[in-house]
A and B are shown apart, each in its own frame.
Chain A
Amino acid sequence: MTTDVHTWIGGYPFRDVPHPDADVLARVLEREGVSGAWVGHLPSAFWRDPSPGNDALFKALEPWRGTLHAVPSVRPGWPRWEHAVRAAAGRGAPALRAYPPQWGMGPEEPSMRELAIACGELGLVLLLTTRFEDARQRHWMDSAGDLSGAAVRTLVRASERVHIVVCAAGRALIEEVHWGLTPAERARVWWDISWVWGPPEDDLAHLVRTCGAERFVYGSAWPLRLTQTPRANLALLPDDVRALALATGDAIVARAQLAAKR
């Protein structure tokens, strides 16, 4: 049972993305043999207030309730953001998305720490996005920059209940954060494999060997990127690590919910 934790529906402001719709995503997952997905609302990442996108997201995913799991966005510091976090938990979201670079929030942003803590208290995973596109192709109005390692480390350390999935990170960021945390802290961070290089550099194999397969989770960045990429990356792993099991979305949620009850 593989869940793709890194998908969205909706358009992207800087280029045309073909068919970014829930029904297409459901078909793609079936074709790829992926059992379900955590789904965000892509336009919301670029809105000052993402909350209207959350309603649209839940409505669009309703016909696929058992497969496509809404991951709404909450911008901390916006009036009634705490209510939005509780509402997301009440609607059964496994995680919340936040986009600090797009919202102009640096690594020390206090409201992001508050959001991380609030997620932890409700057993919600906090899902962060390193990048949407390769830095070399970005639109001239897309000046946000990548999520920094300092930002991730700060949020992990905000509370022992914080559980974070970081999407679209490459080897450098993953290693910077992983080895910059205590063992207990790094056990609460997972990385999707959508942007990790395979052979011949074999970054994914290296990371699985050094950080542990359990720190990684399946993600594709659909609809921005080809959904076949993580499957290809896993298929090309060297023999000594091919059989190792990645973390699953369900297992990460279970960890977050268990921590919230303590």
Chain B
Amino acid sequence: MSSPDRDVPLAGAEPLIEVHAHFLHARCGRKDWQERNASRLRAGDRIGVTVHVASILGTWGHTSPIYFPSPADVTLGNDEMLALQKRESGRVRSYVTVNPNDTEHSLREIERCLAQGAIGIKLAASRRADDPLLDAIAEEAARRGVPVLQHVWQHRRRDWPGQEASDGVELARLAARHPDASFILAHIGGGGDWQHTLPALAEVPNVYVDLSGSGVDRGMLDRTLTAVGASRMVWGSDLTMETGLAKLWALEVIGLSADEMASIRWRNAARIFPRNSFPMLAVSASTVGAR
């Protein structure tokens, strides 16, 4: 097999927004946290990621559960994420992570972190997506014009330890109640039965499908395209960047037009995040246009 040219991004030079990324920090209990963060940025550069939109879920389980982070850990994780965004302002943007079980704290965090440059809200698995408790957060997202990235277990058939996971049907209910908010259904390849999710989203136009996750089932991309169209697909990698790259390469051979490919790579994300969220994109897009 031929070696790729090191100067050319592996996924091409066109803009690329990763809508689902994570970073670690010093208080998450992992000695290799800096190495992992550096690895993500290095791999992102190799792939050609223009910007990673990322979140930190508290202390990643170190001092409170990953999916049920304490208010203090939520705040710590958000602070770390905002600091990283500041350090890597050319290639990293932040979600504000909240645990909706503490509504007041969640709303305060949203206000605080959006004021400091966060551009979306991350909901993990602290509460089922269709729970009325999430309405206040969805209303705030709509009011402020930021998308909500909702962790989803594709076709959750039972409760799993350590999380109160939601599936596509449950997210669709929340999205139907809040048609003015944009929701990103997390990691269609992130575990569970993705085939169950797709029909649940057919009539909910404000839900976008994030292609991330370690799952790389053949047929997943084609059927997502058929179910929701290229205008509702967004790219990310979550915990496995090689599967993200593989999906980009696979998208290149399933018959998409250049416009559809651009939609998935960056245009859809640029549309659902607040205006001016990605100033680096203007530079990148103009560079591409000049080639």
Closest chain A residue, CB of each to CB of B2? A33
State whether A137 and B250 are in contact (beta carbons under 8 Å apart), knowing that A199-B43, A229-B242 are contacts in the complex: no
B83 within 8 A of A: no
Closest chain B residue, CB of each to CB of A31? B253
B130 within 8 A of A: no
- Tell me if B191 and A236 are in contact (CB < 8 A): no
State whether A225 and B216 are in contact (beta carbons under 8 Å apart), knowing that A137-B194, A199-B39, A200-B37 are contacts in the complex: yes
Residues in A neighbouring B255, C-beta threshold 8 A: none
Q: Tally chain B residues at the interface, Cβ within 8 Å.
A: 39
Closest chain A residue, CB of each to CB of B219? A18
Of B36, B218, B219, B250, which contacts A201 at CB under 8 A? B36
- Tell me if B241 and A198 are in contact (CB < 8 A): yes
Closest chain A residue, CB of each to CB of B243? A229
Interface string of A225-236 (1 = CB under 8 A from B): 110110111111
Closest chain B residue, CB of each to CB of A193? B242
- Tell me if B243 and A137 are in contact (CB < 8 A): no
State whether A134 and B214 are in contact (beta carbons under 8 Å apart), knowing that A200-B39, A200-B43 are contacts in the complex: yes
- Tell me if B246 and A226 are in contact (CB < 8 A): yes
Interface string of A176-213 (1 = CB under 8 A from B): 00000000000000000000011111101000000000
Of B1, B4, B191, B217, which contacts A2 at CB under 8 A? B1
Closest chain A residue, CB of each to CB of B190? A136
Interface string of A218-242 (1 = CB under 8 A from B): 0000111110110111111010000
Cα distance A236–B195 in the bound complex, in angstroms? 29
- Tell me if B219 and A16 are in contact (CB < 8 A): yes
Of B42, B153, B215, B222, which contacts A18 at CB under 8 A? B222
B10 within 8 A of A: yes
Q: Please report the number of residue pairs spanning A and B whose Cβ atoms sit closer than 8 angstroms.
A: 108
Interface string of B181-218 (1 = CB under 8 A from A): 00000000001111100000000000000000011111
A83 within 8 A of B: no
- Tell me if A236 and B10 are in contact (CB < 8 A): yes
- Tell me if A199 and B217 are in contact (CB < 8 A): no
- Chain B nearest CB from A166 CB (Å) reads 18
Interface string of B227-263 (1 = CB under 8 A from A): 0000000000001111101110110010000000000
- Tell me if A232 and B243 are in contact (CB < 8 A): yes
- Tell me if A232 and B192 are in contact (CB < 8 A): no
A17 within 8 A of B: yes
- Chain A nearest CB from B250 CB (Å) reads 5
State whether A201 and B239 are in contact (beta carbons under 8 Å apart), knowing that A136-B191, A136-B192, A223-B218 are contacts in the complex: yes
State whether A136 and B153 are in contact (beta carbons under 8 Å apart), knowing that A199-B241, A236-B46, A236-B242 are contacts in the complex: yes
- Tell me if B1 and A197 are in contact (CB < 8 A): no
Residues in B neighbouring A31, C-beta threshold 8 A: 253
A15 within 8 A of B: yes
Cα distance A2–B1 in the bound complex, in angstroms? 7
- Tell me if B219 and A198 are in contact (CB < 8 A): no
Closest chain B residue, CB of each to CB of A133? B217
Residues in A neighbouring B245, C-beta threshold 8 A: 228, 232, 235-236
- Tell me if B239 and A197 are in contact (CB < 8 A): yes
Cα distance A199–B40 in the bound complex, in angstroms? 6
- Tell me if A238 and B216 are in contact (CB < 8 A): no
Cα distance A262–B4 in the bound complex, in angstroms? 41
Interface string of A146-164 (1 = CB under 8 A from B): 0000000000000000000
Cα distance A32–B243 in the bound complex, in angstroms? 16
A60 within 8 A of B: no
Cα distance A223–B191 in the bound complex, in angstroms? 18
A89 within 8 A of B: no
- Tell me if B195 and A231 are in contact (CB < 8 A): no
Cα distance A137–B218 in the bound complex, in angstroms? 14
- Which of B192, B239, B246 has the largest count of A CB atoms less than 10 A from its CB? B246
A34 within 8 A of B: yes
Interface string of A18-57 (1 = CB under 8 A from B): 1000000000000111100000000000000000000000
Supply 17 further A-B pairs (C-beta < 8 A) apart from A137-B155, A199-B42: A18-B218, A18-B219, A134-B191, A137-B191, A140-B157, A197-B214, A198-B240, A202-B39, A225-B217, A226-B246, A226-B247, A228-B247, A229-B216, A232-B249, A233-B246, A235-B10, A236-B47
Sample (5) of A-B pairs whose CB atoms are under 8 Å apart: A137-B215, A197-B240, A200-B37, A226-B217, A231-B246
Chain B interfacial positions (CB closer than 8 Å to A): 1-2, 4, 10, 36-37, 39-40, 42-43, 46-47, 153-155, 157, 191-195, 214-219, 222, 239-243, 245-247, 249-250, 253
Chain A interfacial positions (CB closer than 8 Å to B): 2, 15-18, 31-34, 133-134, 136-137, 140, 197-202, 204, 222-226, 228-229, 231-236, 238
